[in-house]
Structure 1
Amino acid sequence: MSSTSGAGPVLDADEAAAIDPDYPVTPVPAHARKSFFSVAVVLLGFTVFTPTMLAGAALGPAFDFSGLLLVIAIGSLVLGTYVAVMGWIGARTGLTTVVMARYTLGTRGAKLSSVLLGGTQVGWYAVVVGTIGDLTAEALGWESYGARAAVMVVTSALMCATAYWGYGGMYWVSLVSTPLILILAFWVLARSLQEVGGFAGLADVQPTTSMALAVAVTTVVGTFVSAGTQAPNWTRFAKRGSHAVWACVIGFFIGNGLMVFFGAVGALTFGEGDFVLVLYQLGLVGWGLVLLFGNLWKSNADTAYAFGVAGAELFNRPSKAPFVIGGSVIATVLALTGVQNHLVDYLVLLGTFIPPLGGVIIGDFLARWRRGIPEDHVPPAVRWPNVLAYAVAAFLAWLSGELEIGIPPVIGILVAVALSMGLSRLSAGRPRSAVAG
């Protein structure tokens, strides 16, 4: 180990690769960067995620077709823009989100981001594992809790192993499964449209429930805002910032938007937002299980990877491996208790409190680190101006949701960016010299 600073252990590229080839607490060196295609495949594989359809199913009955498209477009634009900026910063610095937070919030303040982001990803992992167990039992007519629990444990072990393998494991699983999943999804979409007489028939379907626009957009943003805040975990492998931006657009604007749309159409035509269950209704149980396992395996491997690198930062360890394993065990236990039954409220919560954290990182980077982070820079224990910026932005985002004024995630991001940029310039100014990260 070369040295130790306030930001944790400082390793050179060879030392970091020897401990963990994914560089969880150090910048990804140039020789380890990946192609645009590789990064795009991983991000698209992450967001083509069937539980996202449940958010679409909640939106579908609340809007007419044009209103539904507007909600999905606004939510996806907010999410895609936010994630693209985060992804660009990740490519520029070569750092994960939680390690970037050391420079924004301080070495101790960054523990807040590790707990917040790592904790939400453990929750998502639990939701997915529980969903697999429930849907498999439903498909095969299993009444036994033991059989359902066994499915959860086995699938969790496969997901954990893929995340343990690292970026390479997630890439190959995504490359194989994502095309098959999209083919199945578009086929089910075509069958759904046949049920209502095509898009014209879908446009004639009238809302049966109501939902405020702000709540609906927050739900769309919330589907992947926590994961999107951690997009640098993968875009740090991009060779160029532009590659990271376009990979995020493909994954979070197009991929995630499609999944919300699929769920809404399924709810309007078959009364069921999850295409896995639609396939069950069509008598295609085998293909339903293929869609279920292929989709959730790759998405949850990314989730495990995210809480693995968060744990590495939280405990200042150069390897993500023990935290991938530990988080997977905790999440599996949560899944066995039925945590997956509270998804919509969870999404709204994420859509309120996670974006301000990314907003603070964006604002601080634009104010102080656009030319790169100096190699000899030692962050303070707590960077209070940015901690304050996050607290204020998160509170205003929550308040806007309570008062139904504006769109909470947008308010949280914009307030956080503005406050962190202003306070960073006032408190520290810009570094005199820097080298690209």
Structure 2
Amino acid sequence: MTGADVEHVGGLELESEFEHQPVPASHRKSTPAVAAVWFGFPMILTCAVFGGVITALLGFRQGLLAIVLGNVVLMLYVGALSYLSGESGLNFALVAGRVFGRYGYTLASGFLATIVVGWFAFQTGLTGLTVNQSFGWNEKLVTLLAGILFIAITFIGIRALSVLGMVAAPLFLVVAAVALWLISRTGGLGDVWNYPGVSGGAAATSIGAAVTLVVATFADSGTMTGDFTRWSRNGRAAVLASSSAFPVANLVAFLVGAVIVASGAISDPQVNGGNFLPVFATGHGWLLSALALVFIVVNLGSVCTHCLYNGAVGWSHILGSRMRLLTVVLGIVGTVAALAGVWSLFLDWLNILGVFVPPIGAVILTDYALRRPAVPEEPSGVRWTAFAGWAVGALAAGIVHFQAPQYVEVLVGMLAAALTYAVLVLATGRSGHRARPGARVPEPGSSRA
């Protein structure tokens, strides 16, 4: 690697993360390597919990339908955004710069980069709490050590996320299989298909609301998928890599939680969901207890590192800095928030904000559809048409969220954003500007590279 392709940190020589430019072809990675980054991200206990909550409220069959539909939406949405970055090598901030403007993108990118740092804080705090509840260890100390570990892994870069994914996903499958085996020994898997739910089925919630929950779980990092899939060889490879997460890994995690709740093994399932950790964490010998401890750290660590990576890549481009420096800064901020206990206040806000994220991706995809195959000109400072599309989409999603949650609010928001943006762009006649023949097309933010 040349000097421009590496970063020297102390005695370490680390690969450049290309925060301010497309990933060059020489540094693109194999499809399995990129897929490992995504595959290990959604196959987590959190998704099993949500899968169990949906099943408890809807019953198994309707819960299964909602889970499948939500994953189809994620597959199409994240896959399309992944294709763009796989073809171009651009991270989310660079893609957003071409749509929202070279100054305007800072709002869209900064919004998402801040949300994912909130998720890092939440999951780091949850790591300490879970270990404390399972083993009685000091919650604050575990949270601090977990935060330091997660920062260190993220600091290494995309290679570390790939390796972590190769460990996290198989470990989830092993632990889930053990939990299901323990449940089956008591005959708990006999009539899963006919499980009616805690309130007699669909009366407790709607399929539309459940689909929204599935999509909102990964709305933020799913929109920022370019941070991961820009490393793919091309657009097709990027789609294959993201499909390892949606529908495969995410569907597996949700279904594990659904089956465990439908087996009757979880007390108060509408609250606890498919949290299968208590099934094997205690009372089955030291080996399973040790496995449970490793599982907690690796599983929640997978979420934390991916979210911190998204946040660091986004903010490093906005600030004209480096991903690794922002990893340390944002990681410290998130860990302090976790230690202070404020992480427990984040969940409702993060879920609500997640509803307003998909319209951003819808505007980006619509822009690509309208402008292709035109070569983009240097973006203006702020593209108000893109912000208008996002605002209308977010408003529509918010209205449905608070007034008609039985409908799929994320789809409403995406459709409203796409239609608004398309109408405005076509009305102003700016759907397909081309650069002058032979003109150099600068990357948004290239002056900071």
TM-score over 0.5 for the pair = yes
Match of 1:141 in 2: 136
Instruction: Work out the percentage of aligned pairs sharing the same amino acid.
Output: 27
3-state secondary structure, aligned to 1:238 = coil
| Partner AA of 2:403 in structure 1 | L
CA–CA distance in structure 2, aligned partners of residues 429 and 335 of structure 1: 45
Unaligned runs of 5+ in 2: 9-14, 267-271, 444-449
Match of 1:384 in 2: 384
CA–CA distance in structure 1, aligned partners of residues 313 and 221 of structure 2: 13
Superposed, which structure 2 residues align to 1:180-219 within 5 Å?
180-198=171-189, 200-209=190-199, 210-219=204-213
3-state secondary structure, aligned to 2:41 = helix
Which of 333, 338, 357 is 2:336 aligned to? 333
CA–CA distance in structure 2, aligned partners of residues 175 and 64 of structure 1: 33
Following superposition, the deviation at residue 373 of structure 1 comes to: 4.8
Does 2:239 match 1:245? yes
3-state secondary structure, aligned to 2:191 = helix
State the Cα RMSD in Å: 2.3
Runs of 4+ with >4 A deviation = 16-20, 193-197, 433-437
Match of 1:275 in 2: 276
CA–CA distance in structure 2, aligned partners of residues 73 and 164 of structure 1: 35
CA–CA distance in structure 2, aligned partners of residues 343 and 330 of structure 1: 14
Match of 2:54 in 1: 59
Superposed CA deviations along residues 366-390 of structure 1, whole A, max 9, x for unmatched, are 212x33755xx32111100010000
CA–CA distance in structure 2, aligned partners of residues 186 and 125 of structure 1: 27
Following superposition, the deviation at residue 128 of structure 1 comes to: 1.0
Which of 105, 110, 125 is 1:110 aligned to? 105
| Partner AA of 1:267 in structure 2 | V
Match of 2:360 in 1: 357
Query: Residues 96 and 232 of structure 1 are in contact (CA less than 8 Å); yes or no, is this contact kept in structure 2?
Result: yes
Query: Residues 63 and 207 of structure 2 are in contact (CA less than 8 Å); yes or no, is this contact kept in structure 1?
Result: no
Which of 130, 146, 150 is 2:125 aligned to? 130
CA–CA distance in structure 2, aligned partners of residues 59 and 85 of structure 1: 27
3-state secondary structure, aligned to 1:257 = helix
Match of 2:300 in 1: 296
Query: Residues 82 and 239 of structure 2 are in contact (CA less than 8 Å); yes or no, is this contact kept in structure 1?
Result: yes
CA–CA distance in structure 1, aligned partners of residues 207 and 347 of structure 2: 15
3-state secondary structure, aligned to 1:95 = coil
Query: Residues 119 and 350 of structure 2 are in contact (CA less than 8 Å); yes or no, is this contact kept in structure 1?
Result: no
Following superposition, the deviation at residue 251 of structure 1 comes to: 0.7
Query: Residues 60 and 258 of structure 2 are in contact (CA less than 8 Å); yes or no, is this contact kept in structure 1?
Result: no
CA–CA distance in structure 1, aligned partners of residues 349 and 278 of structure 2: 22
Superposed CA deviations along residues 103-138 of structure 1, whole A, max 9, x for unmatched, are 111122111122211111111101111111011112
Worse overlay, 336-345 or 41-50: 336-345
Q: In 2 relative to 1, CA 347–206 (structure 1 residues): closer, same or farther, beyond 3 Å?
A: farther
| Partner AA of 2:297 in structure 1 | F
Following superposition, the deviation at residue 394 of structure 1 comes to: 0.5
CA–CA distance in structure 2, aligned partners of residues 123 and 344 of structure 1: 9
Does 2:401 match 1:411? no
Match of 1:3 in 2: none
Superposed CA deviations along residues 51-101 of structure 1, whole A, max 9, x for unmatched, are 222222321211221111101011111112111111111112211112211
Q: In 2 relative to 1, CA 192–98 (structure 1 residues): closer, same or farther, beyond 3 Å?
A: farther
Query: Residues 389 and 419 of structure 1 are in contact (CA less than 8 Å); yes or no, is this contact kept in structure 2?
Result: yes
3-state secondary structure, aligned to 2:103 = coil
Q: In 2 relative to 1, CA 90–282 (structure 1 residues): closer, same or farther, beyond 3 Å?
A: farther
Match of 1:398 in 2: 398
Query: Residues 55 and 260 of structure 1 are in contact (CA less than 8 Å); yes or no, is this contact kept in structure 2?
Result: yes
Superposed CA deviations along residues 321-348 of structure 1, whole A, max 9, x for unmatched, are 2211111111112212334545763464
Match of 2:11 in 1: none
Superposed, which structure 2 residues align to 1:312-351 within 5 Å?
312-317=316-321, 319-341=322-344, 345-346=348-349, 348-351=351-354
| Partner AA of 1:22 in structure 2 | E
Superposed CA deviations along residues 10-30 of structure 1, whole A, max 9, x for unmatched, are xxx964655861111210111
Which of 153, 156, 162 is 1:171 aligned to? 162
Q: In 2 relative to 1, CA 234–366 (structure 1 residues): closer, same or farther, beyond 3 Å?
A: same
| Partner AA of 1:383 in structure 2 | R
Query: Residues 45 and 298 of structure 1 are in contact (CA less than 8 Å); yes or no, is this contact kept in structure 2?
Result: yes
Superposed, which structure 2 residues align to 1:255-266 within 5 Å?
255-266=249-260
| Partner AA of 1:286 in structure 2 | A
Following superposition, the deviation at residue 256 of structure 1 comes to: 1.2
TM-score of the aligned structures, taking structure 2 as reference length: 0.86
Following superposition, the deviation at residue 207 of structure 1 comes to: 1.6
CA–CA distance in structure 2, aligned partners of residues 282 and 388 of structure 1: 56
Aligned residues: 416
